[in-house]
Chain A
Amino acid sequence: MLRGVVELMEAEWYAVVALVLFVLAFVAILLNALLRRRSEVDRQARLPLDDDTPQANRTE
């Protein structure tokens, strides 16, 4: 029955709901990124630069 109902539906509202969903998700992400603590963000951003210095070398 559900399939029958869906088959007869019109498709336009899908696009509108999709757009609204996206906008909501985007606003949440934007807030999340902007409200992070600066010290924390700075440490995370430096991860690639702190990753490759061996504390001990074995060259033999």
Chain B
Amino acid sequence: MSQAETANAGGSASEGSPQPAGASPHLEQFTYDDGIVRMFTLATLIWGIVAMLVGLLIAMQLALPALNLGLEWTTFGRLRPLHTNAAIFAFAGNAIFAAIYYSTQRLLKTRMWSDKLGRLHFWGWQLIIVSAAVTLPLGVTQGKEYAELEWPIDLLIAIVWVGFFGVNFFMTLKVRRERHMYVAIWFYIATIVTVALLHVFNNIWVPLVAAGQPGTALGYLKSYPIYAGVQDAFMQWWYGHNAVAFFLTTPFLGLMYYFVPKAANRPVFSYRLSIIHFWSLVFIYIWAGPHHLHYTALPAWASTLGMVFSLMLWMPSWGGMINGLLTLRGAWYKVTADPVLKFFVVGITFYGMSTFEGPMLSIKSVNALSHYTDWTIGHVHSGALGWNGFMTFGMLYWLLPRLFQTKGLYSKKLAEWHFWLGTLGILVYIVAMYIAGIKQGLDWRAITPEGNLKIEFIESVEYLIPLYYLRAVGGGMYLAGVLLGAFNVYKTWKMRPKTYAEPVHTAPPLSADYTDAPAPKHRLSEHGHPELAKKVDVWMQGHWHRRWERLPLKFTVWVIVAVSVASLFEIIPTFLIRSNVPTIATVTPYSPLELAGRDIYVREGCYNCHSQMIRPMYAEKLRYGEYSKAGEFVYDRPFQWGSRRIGPDLHRVNKSYQWHHKHFEDPKLLVAKSIMPPYPHLLKRKIDWKSVPVRVRAASYLGAPYTQEQIDDAMNNAKRQAQAIAESIAKDRNKPIEEIQETQVLALIAYLDRVGKDITRTPAAEDEKPAEPGTDNAEPQGAN
């Protein structure tokens, strides 16, 4: 049929039912922007390889710490955030953008609103990733998991996400030619608005530079969050868990609801179930964050609420998984021959597995065993490699011949190899981590009949080394599969035509004078029923929801209401109710040197291996001391509770200055089997004295009660404290003081010596002057 013929053919298939009054009879012609999809596809592959390479390197470092080559930029603490950020925001991020740009245009029968905004989005996002890849190894970090990127990059993310991506997406909704928004579009809307909310509210900070000029260039990039301690932890895991929900789940579900029906060539098993799946996830997910903080200083009501809602997630998650798998009804025979369907089937199965495991891990008694262990690492990798990775590769293999306009893939066999290597790789990986995690959990809580600890921490580490190698084998297999995939992509790309054809599509525009079909009549007999019952019957026929589905703005507002109500129910009491964070009179702000040392702790990413949160459990109290209290963290910006114990908890570390100094020089000097790398740069590089008063002033802006005198004297105070610690170490280690003086390790040692000690101090009598910041350590103690 020629264009002229189609233009005159009329028809309003895309208008959908009900037929609008006065529909326009003419058809409009348009093309899709597949160039942007090709760009995001390529970026997905490149960053996927980078993320997995870094992952493999740091996995090996846990078995062979020397693999950081003695460089500060390649230690586990600095590279692990690079791995997680690259996997989440670079690999999965580019994949969801490819999916959204491809499917949105087709589901809405329109080209994206602005090609230019699409390109700005693409290049802006790549700039963010490159900025992350440069700053994270340099130690520029906020010290909050998956939100490590510092304030200038945060601003860039907000601009690119909202200003380029969000505006382009919502304007495309406005100019669409299909009135009903398919369920995949709902998932995309939820993703865009919720990620924007999460990003903005978890990244409210005061840049150091607002308080004065730091002494180094990197100091200009440093910031302190406005939240402290318990509240910062709550906001962070509200963000962290919902990053999983709205960055790694909802957009991939949108992808599933579009690409699985395409690949199986049949509609989704139950559209009704997809609606329930969508709204249930949007309502429930947002509450679940506090399950990351069980048995911590977070109030118990909040973590219980998080657990209950996490358990409720079983229902919609499995509903969604079943919906995805049953879409293949009658097409299962195709799975054996089609690598695309293989990836999708296993991807959706991993969605089911990890959404079963997640709620299970949120049960407090299970979490008591699993938290801080490698079990969590196994869990997240079954989700990331199985669900996100396999859905991405299924989509890529389906897209490649369409994007590059070839007859098919270069090699179906290679895609099959990719699938099998990947599947086996994931299994090896997660089984190794499950064994490691459960063993760690059991070791840490093991008690002798006499009531003593049965296993030293380092013994629990020793057992893990072979499992770390096995994990690297699994990860290596997965990466090998991805490299085969990259080769396949390259060869398929080589088969492309000289110029890409640009098919012209036609559809009628949405008529401007569209009026909704009138509300249906009630189905009750006129007599014998009250008016209210008739109204309820009309309401229950759901015409109002179908109207929303045609009204993107109202739909979006309801999504925002759903996530905001849930968030505020947890945030308001956490922030306002006094009893949530009981004040401890003896807890005072850090001394200037300790504050500078804390910033070094954050910079080195110590939280990636060490917690600062002793849970109220018998074995933990024996191993680490008195359990951590909410009131101890009121000056901690950011909180550093951590989520793993590759090394022991550090809240009440209780070691001497010289022990710490020797340990940073080379941990093996003190703990022969330690897997912590040496930190020689801390023993050489000098403290940035100029930044010290700036840090104190910034902390003071945020509410730490320093006096003006203390702020003015901050640099001298820090120098005095550092000198005293240096003298003590020089004496105990029999080293010339010139080697030790002014080195950064002194600040870090001062911090580690202070942290968790305030609760053991004697409260000042009421008529006495309250304790001043850092007075405990103004005259540093010797070895303890």
- Determine the distance from Cα of A58 to Cα of B505 in the docked complex, in whole angstroms: 10
User: In the complex where A26-B283, A29-B276 touch, is A57 in contact with B308 (Cβ < 8 A)?
Assistant: no
Q: Size range of the interface on A?
A: 35 or more
* A9-B302 Cα distance, complex, nearest whole Å: 15
How many Å from the CB of A45 to the closest CB on chain B? 4
B473-503, CB under 8 A of A: which get 1 and which 0? 0000000000000000000000000000111
> How far is B568's CA from A21's CA once the two chains are assembled, in angstroms?
13
B523 to chain A, nearest CB (A): 10
Q: Give chain A interface residues in 26-56, CB to chain B under 8 Å.
A: 26, 29-36, 39-52, 54-56
Residues of B within 8 A of A32 (CB): 275, 540, 542, 545
In chain B, positions 498-538 with a C-beta closer than 8 Å to chain A are: 501-506
Q: Are B301 and A48 in contact (CB under 8 A)?
A: no
Q: Say whether B17 faces chain A, with CB atoms less than 8 Å apart.
A: yes
In the bound complex, residues from chain B placing their C-beta under 8 Å from that of A1 are none
Known: A32-B542, A41-B272, A44-B182. A49 touches B501 (CB 8 A): no
B131 within 8 A of A: no
Closest 10 pairs (CB-CB, A-B): A54-B503, A45-B271, A45-B267, A51-B106, A55-B6, A56-B3, A29-B279, A33-B275, A33-B272, A47-B182
Docked Cα-Cα span, A54 to B32, in Å, equals 10
Given A55-B1, A56-B29, 19 new contacts (CB under 8 A) = A14-B572, A15-B305, A18-B305, A21-B569, A22-B287, A25-B283, A29-B276, A31-B542, A32-B542, A32-B545, A34-B272, A45-B268, A48-B182, A51-B106, A51-B109, A54-B503, A55-B504, A55-B505, A56-B504
A14 touches B573 (CB 8 A): yes
Among B16, B103, B280, B503, the residue within 8 A (CB) of A29 is B280
> A41: nearest residue on chain B (CB-CB)?
B271
The complex places the Cα of A58 from the Cα of B307 at a distance, in Å, of 56
A26–B562 CA distance with the chains assembled, in angstroms: 11
- Sample (11) of A-B pairs whose CB atoms are under 8 Å apart: A19-B308, A22-B283, A22-B284, A22-B287, A36-B272, A43-B180, A45-B268, A45-B271, A51-B109, A54-B506, A55-B3
Task: Give the distance in Å from the alpha carbon of A50 to the alpha carbon of B506 in the complex.
Answer: 12
CA distance A57 to B109 in the complex (A): 16
**A44-B182, A49-B261 are contacts. A57–B501 as well, Cβ < 8 Å?**
yes
A6-B577, A10-B577, A30-B276 known; A36 vs B542 contact (CB < 8 Å) = yes
Specify which of B106, B501, B506, B572 is in contact with A52 (CB 8 Å cutoff): B106
Known: A54-B505, A56-B506. A11 touches B106 (CB 8 A): no
B302-344 interface code vs A (CB 8 A; 1 in, 0 out): 1011001100100000000000000000000000000000000
Task: Name the interface size band of chain B.
Answer: 35 or more
Within the complex, which residue of A3, A22, A46, A55 is in contact with B506, where a contact is CB–CB below 8 Å? A55
Do A59 and B109 form a contact, CB below 8 Å, given A25-B279, A48-B184?
no
Cα distance A31–B279 in the bound complex, in angstroms: 12
Chain A residues within 8 Å of B16, by CB: 43-44
B271 touches A6 (CB 8 A): no
Per the bound structure, the CA–CA distance linking A58 and B257 in Å amounts to 30
B94 to chain A, nearest CB (A): 22
Q: Is B265 an interface residue (CB 8 A)?
A: yes
Q: Which of A7, A29, A55 contacts B578 (CB 8 A)?
A: A7
Q: Which residues of A contact B1 (CB under 8 A)?
A: 55-56
Which residues 565-587 of B have a CB within 8 angstroms of A?
565-566, 569-570, 572-573, 576-580
Minimum distance in angstroms from B406 CB to a CB of chain A: 14
Residue among A43, A55, A57, A59 having the largest count of chain B Cβ atoms under 10 Å: A55
Contacts A36-B272, A45-B268 given; does A58 touch B262 at CB 8 Å: no
Given the interface contacts A43-B16, A43-B17, A56-B2, does A18 sit within 8 Å of B261 by beta carbon?
no
Q: Does chain A have a CB within 8 A of B178?
A: yes
Q: Is B13 an interface residue (CB 8 A)?
A: yes
In the complex the two chains form, is B280's CB within 8 Å of A59's CB? no
Q: Is B107 an interface residue (CB 8 A)?
A: yes
| Smallest CB gap from B275: residue in A | A33
Q: Does B601 contact A (CB under 8 A)?
A: no
- Cα of A59 to Cα of B2 in the assembled complex, Å: 13
